Chain A
Amino acid sequence: MKRRTTLAGIALGALMAVAPLGTAWAADPIRIGYAIARTGIFAAAAPSQENPYALWQEQVNAAGGMELPGGERRPVEFVSYDDQSNPANTVRIYERLITQDKVDLLAAPWGTPMHLALAPVLQRYKFPMVGNTAASVQLRKVAPGYIWFVTSAIPDSMGAEMAAMLKANGMKSVAVLANELPYAQEFRSFLLPALKEQGIEVLVDQSYPPDAKDMTSLLVEVKGKSPDAVLALTYPADAFLFTGQARELGLASPFVLSLIGPTIDAYRKAFGGAADGIVSSAHWSGQSDMWPRGKAFFDAYVAKFGEEPDALDSAVTWMSMEILQQAVAKAGLDHEKLREAIATGTFDTINGPVKFDGVQNAMTPTGFVQIQNGKIELVWPPAIKTADFKPKQGW
């Protein structure tokens, strides 16, 4: 009995011993905490977010640090943990970052489930955080307060915009193939009524599980119906599967959407010219002249990592850090002042000005991009487009 309690005591002691490590740090740098999926099912997506964090830190420190009210600058330092692609860990890590590591600021984790799980934690500790890689109409159920979502790729507005874009380009019939994971299904649920409203006929409507290994049967069916547009609501892994097999079958539809995946650098490396003409989800492009900060970010990213930033995830990540940086420069590190500054301010980002209405970005329009000559061009909506939509010319 005695020995057991001793053992428990030792274990607890060991735990306590690591605890003060965080607080013993010098007060000089501004410490920013985040969790990200370095392992597990989301791990492959996370570098598109962690790379911008690293680049941002490098640039801020090279400029002498992060600016505080009054012009003082302090270097920034990240404290990060692996959430193993599990939102339960995300919750625990942010509690740890806030109460144990006592970080000055928080940056966002990767993924919608993580953001949604995190909202109540931020509320409880009254700690503001600018979210980035999350998109779901459920975000609106989150009480406005300490979390904001930068992206405008929210499924309801995307459904309407997609239908409008199809109509504008004269597409009269579509085939919808949707991954069973939440984001794709949510988009599908808003897309179908929007298509109906625009009078576009749905010839095929099928869902497939995320671990599908072959799509030939589906695509043969689609090809047989010859729709004007094929809308594949993919995640990155099945974007490769879909594109490879659609190419093999020589799908002849002039409009081909692959929802998530084509903006990743590896996708264009895998398919080269065959990827030309593929439409995908994003509201930013490094090619745009509208937003001077965008080109600078694009070039710095390519120089540092040897590949292009993901037009979706890397862009919204960068935007979230721009917003945080500008809000801190105005309000400092006090949580309440910072919350006020983020909630009411207008920010200059690589995607143009951003202002929040409740939890949501009220300024950036929902858009779609198309791969043209290996480059990501914004083709929708017309107000921010960098190129016109071009019908897909073979594979």
Chain B
Amino acid sequence: MVDTLLSGQLLFAALVSGSLYALVALGLNLVYGTLRLLNIAHGDLVMIGAYVAFWLFTLLAVPPVVALVVAAVLCAVLGWAVYAGLFRRMLAKPALARRVEANSLILFYGISVILQNSAALAFTASPRAYRWLDTVITWGGVSMTLNRLLTLGVAAGLCLGVLAFLRFHLFGWGLRAVIQRREAAQVVGVNIERVQLATICAGFAVAGMAGVLVSMTEQITPFMGFPFTIVAFVVIIVGGLGNIGAGVLAGFALGLVETYGIALTSAGYRSILIYGIFVAVLMVRPEGLFTRAVRT
């Protein structure tokens, strides 16, 4: 038992799923933090990224590493379209913006339904999959499939990159300012609309890239997205809505809890464990476990 817990194999598995959770949640957190929109279509962007990777690989033999860029661009354009077409209008109407949670929930529900069913119509619902970089290497007694190792590297790298950007780039400062003190940010001259547009594009792009990573190891279907939406919500709640850094931390924490929780108890309790933590955090500490900020 102890051997199992100390083995690098479990740690590797926990880090791979943790990094993916962190990446998927990062995009959702950006959109929530700056726009206060409950994007329940987030997982469907993961689905789109996965299909981009599948078709590029299957039809044109383009490796998923390149698909990362294509998926990011495509999802960013989608983000721009959604923002310019729908949310600018919504946020501009006081009657709609007043109930932004309820309204954004329904809007994104509509978008989610459209994305899923368009994909089903275009590609059929048949599960898809492809093989790429699936050599298993063993290092220090830990077996790793190369595409899972790549997932870990890319996902962790992207998370760190975004965090660094927020900390060190001027635009990142503006973004953080909008998340934390919206009115104040406007007063000091941050172009809120530009920040919002950029964030929604970035948030969508990150989700699309996560989809490319997922496609290497899972079956791809038009309805694969929703579980990712849920995982992302669990992560950003545990980390704290709008708190980008804590969200990344929480993603990795969830990966560890899932893997080691199963090892310590029983696999049957996996979902009860995860939703239990989620509900408990919301009830006891809705600002998130890793946030010190005062409740507003």
Contact = CB atoms under 8 A, between A and B. Distances in A.
A180, A269, A270: most-surrounded residue (chain B CB, <10 A)? A270
B126 A47 contact: yes
Interface in A159-218: 177, 180, 206-209, 211-218
Interface stretch (A136-144, A244-252, A294-302): A244-252
Interface string B7-42: 101101110110000000000000000000000000
B291 interface: no
A177 B259 CA distance: 16
Interface stretch (B67-75, B88-96, B265-273): B265-273
B145 A244 contact: yes
Contacts of B145: 244, 247-248
Contacts of A64: none
B127 interface: yes
A157 B175 CA distance: 62
B136 A209 contact: no
B218 interface: yes
Nearest to A270: B129
Interface in B114-149: 116-117, 120, 124-131, 134, 136, 143-145, 148
A250 B232 CA distance: 31
Interface of B: 4, 7, 9-10, 12-14, 16-17, 116-117, 120, 124-131, 134, 136, 143-145, 148, 217-219, 221-223, 227, 231, 255, 258-260, 262-263, 266-268, 270-271
Contacts of B127: 44, 236, 264, 266-267
Given A211-B271, A214-B258, A267-B129, A240 B221 contact: no
Interface string A36-47: 001111011011
Given A206-B266, A213-B258, A43 B125 contact: yes
B267 A212 contact: yes
B124 to A, nearest CB: 6
Interface of A: 38-41, 43-44, 46-48, 177, 180, 206-209, 211-218, 220-221, 224, 236-237, 240-241, 244-245, 247-250, 264-267, 269-272, 274, 307, 395
Contacts, number: 131
B218 A240 contact: yes
A43 B223 contact: yes
Contacts of A208: 262, 267-268, 270
Contact of A211 (B16, B143, B227, B268): B227
A244 B17 CA distance: 14
A40 B263 CA distance: 31
Contacts of B221: 43-44
A236 B224 CA distance: 12
Given A247-B136, A266-B219, A395-B136, A220 B268 contact: no
Given A44-B221, A247-B134, 16 more contacts: A38-B125, A41-B223, A43-B125, A47-B124, A47-B126, A208-B262, A209-B270, A212-B271, A244-B217, A250-B136, A250-B143, A267-B219, A270-B129, A270-B130, A270-B131, A272-B131
A44 B129 CA distance: 13
A248 B136 contact: yes
Contacts of A177: 267
Contacts of B9: 216, 220, 249
B10 A207 contact: no
Contacts of B125: 38, 43-44, 46-47
Contacts of A245: 13
A177 to B, nearest CB: 8
B219 A216 contact: no
Give the top 5 A-B pairs by smallest Cβ distance, nearest first: A270-B129, A216-B13, A208-B267, A217-B263, A44-B221
Contacts of A214: 13-14, 16-17, 255, 258-259, 262
A240 B129 CA distance: 9
18 contacts: A43-B120, A44-B219, A48-B126, A212-B267, A214-B13, A214-B259, A216-B9, A216-B259, A217-B263, A220-B10, A220-B263, A240-B217, A241-B218, A247-B145, A250-B143, A266-B128, A267-B219, A395-B136
Contacts of A206: 266-268
Residue of B10, B144, B262 contacting most chain A CB atoms (<10 Å):
B262
Nearest to B230: A211
A105 to B, nearest CB: 25
Nearest to A395: B136
B130 A269 contact: yes
A258 to B, nearest CB: 13
Contacts of B144: 248
A224 B7 CA distance: 12
Nearest to B260: A217
Nearest to B145: A248
Contacts of B136: 247-248, 250, 395
B13 A43 contact: no
A236 B143 contact: no
B250 to A, nearest CB: 15
A206 B130 CA distance: 29
Nearest to B125: A43
Contacts of A216: 9-10, 12-13, 259
Contacts of B223: 39-41, 43-44
A180 to B, nearest CB: 7
A272 B271 CA distance: 31
A177 B267 CA distance: 9
Residue from A249, A250, A267 having most chain B Cβ neighbours under 10 A = A249
B4 A240 contact: no
